[in-house]
């Protein structure tokens, strides 16, 4: 009973905050609600025994990505944003598309059957600690994708500098 | 024990709210935040599947998704800054140069 209540709290708050994020007029308010949303999602990850993912959710999403969003919002100085309308003219079409896709996905989820379970049971993770168990899989089986991820980050660093810099006058 | 279907439904709801925001908002920054919302909906589904199937590979995938989301946010926000510098607007319906 108590886990279901806990999940219910998180589900209601996450849905409510998501709706708040996409409907606020002021982008700064959206960023602040998103900060609260990321902390709630991190709490949900803790509830699912994924401590390391919860930690990097808070550090990378709430600490890095949202600060980047906040910087850009403050840089653009959007005084007139508060007076203009928020949605494009054809927003009912977007609502129909999203609601239709949601109906399809929820109906598909009903017929879901689980695959056989793997070896990483809760007892195994409790003995090995979560970060160690995750690191062992990441650095053996997924070493090559891990190296590619570092390359993607390098491309992002260089690309962001090249795109955002002003043109040099010679 | 909370059933797996509840988590998957929550992930789908968050994803579809992100889809709605991406399709309908005029502000390009909010559109980018909707993309982050969609990625988070997928992450919720992957973590819950990883927990219920007792397999760590779902969490590895979430790790990579967060990495790519960080790169995507950096590049996307740089594009927004370049766009604002050239057009001095961030409303997507006012940018129609590519329209024939």
| Mean pLDDT, range B10-37, rounded to an integer | 93
Burial of A147 (0-12, 13-18, 19+ CB in 10 A): exposed
The alpha carbon of residue A170 is apart from the nearest alpha carbon of chain B, in Å, by: 20
Question: Could you say which of 2.120.10.90, 1.10.10.10, 1.20.120.1200, 1.10.3720.10 is the CATH number of the domain covering A1-78?
Answer: 1.20.120.1200
Q: What is the DSSP letter of A119?
A: S
Q: State pLDDT tens for residues A67-101.
A: 999 998 888 766 777 778 888 888 899 999 999 99
The domains located in chain B, with CATH, are 4-88 (1.10.287.3510)
Q: State pLDDT tens for residues A140-153.
A: 999 999 999 999 99
Residues from chain B contacting residue A44 (CB–CB below 8 Å): 44, 47
Q: What is the DSSP letter of A81?
A: G
Using alpha carbons only, what angle is made at residue B43 by residues B38 and B44, rounded to the nearest 5 degrees? 100
The pLDDT confidence band at residue B100, using thresholds 50, 70 and 90, is low
**ipTM of the shown complex:** 0.91
Q: State pLDDT tens for residues A104-121.
A: 999 998 888 888 888 888
**Where does B25-97 have alpha helices with state H?**
28-52, 57-87
Tally A–B CB contacts below 8 A.
221
Quick one: pLDDT at residue A89?
82
Give yes or no for B43 touching A (CB within 8 A).
yes
| Mean pLDDT, range A23-52, rounded to an integer | 92
The pLDDT confidence band at residue A123, using thresholds 50, 70 and 90, is confident
Residue A163 pLDDT exceeds 90? no
The alpha carbon of residue B76 is apart from the nearest alpha carbon of chain A, in Å, by: 8
**Domain ranges across chain A:** 1-78, 118-170
Q: Smallest Cβ distance to B26: which of A86, A93, A157? A: A86
The pLDDT confidence band at residue A170, using thresholds 50, 70 and 90, is low
| Mean pLDDT, range B6-32, rounded to an integer | 93
**Contact at 8 Å (CB) between A59 and A29?**
no
* Distance (Å, whole) CA A103 – CA A107: 6
Task: Return residues 43-72 of A near B (CB < 8 Å).
Answer: 44-45, 48-50, 52-53, 56-57, 60-61, 64-65, 68-69, 72
Q: State pLDDT tens for residues B33-89.
A: 999 999 999 999 999 999 999 888 899 999 999 999 999 999 999 999 888 888 888
Residues from chain B contacting residue A120 (CB–CB below 8 Å): 54-56
The alpha carbon of residue B19 is apart from the nearest alpha carbon of chain A, in Å, by: 6
* Nearest chain A residue (CA) to B49: A114
* Cβ partners under 8 Å of residue A101, min gap 6: B16, B19
Question: What average pLDDT does chain A have?
Answer: 89
Residues from chain B contacting residue A57 (CB–CB below 8 Å): 43, 66
Residue A41 pLDDT exceeds 90? yes
């Amino acid at each position: 009973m108590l886990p279901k209540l806990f999940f219910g709290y998180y589900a209601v708050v996450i849905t409510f905050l998501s709706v708040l994020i996409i409907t606020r007029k002021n982008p700064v308010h959206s960023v602040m609600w998103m900060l609260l949303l990321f902390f709630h999602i991190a709490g949900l990850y803790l509830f699912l025994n994924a401590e390391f993912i919860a930690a990097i959710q808070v550090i990378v999403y709430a600490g890095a990505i949202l600060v980047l969003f906040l910087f850009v919002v403050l840089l653009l100085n959007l005084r007139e944003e508060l007076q203009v309308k928020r949605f494009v003219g054809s927003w009912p079409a977007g609502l129909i598309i999203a609601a239709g896709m949601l109906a399809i996905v929820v109906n598909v989820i009903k017929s879901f059957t689980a695959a056989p379970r793997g070896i990483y049971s809760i007892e195994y993770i409790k003995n090995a600690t979560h970060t160690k168990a995750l690191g062992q899989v990441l650095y053996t089986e997924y070493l090559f994708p891990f190296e590619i991820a570092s390359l993607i980050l390098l491309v992002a660093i260089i690309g962001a500098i090249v795109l955002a810099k002003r043109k040099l006058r010679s | 024990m909370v059933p797996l279907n509840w988590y998957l439904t929550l992930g789908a709801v968050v994803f579809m709210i992100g889809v709605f925001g991406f399709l309908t908002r005029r502000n390009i920054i909010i559109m980018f935040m909707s993309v982050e919302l969609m990625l988070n909906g997928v992450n919720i589904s992957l973590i819950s599947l990883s927990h219920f199937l007792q397999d760590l590979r779902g969490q590895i995938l979430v790790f990579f998704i967060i990495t790519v989301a960080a790169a995507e946010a950096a590049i996307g926000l740089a594009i927004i800054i370049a766009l604002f510098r050239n057009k001095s607007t961030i409303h997507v319906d006012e940018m129609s140069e590519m329209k024939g």
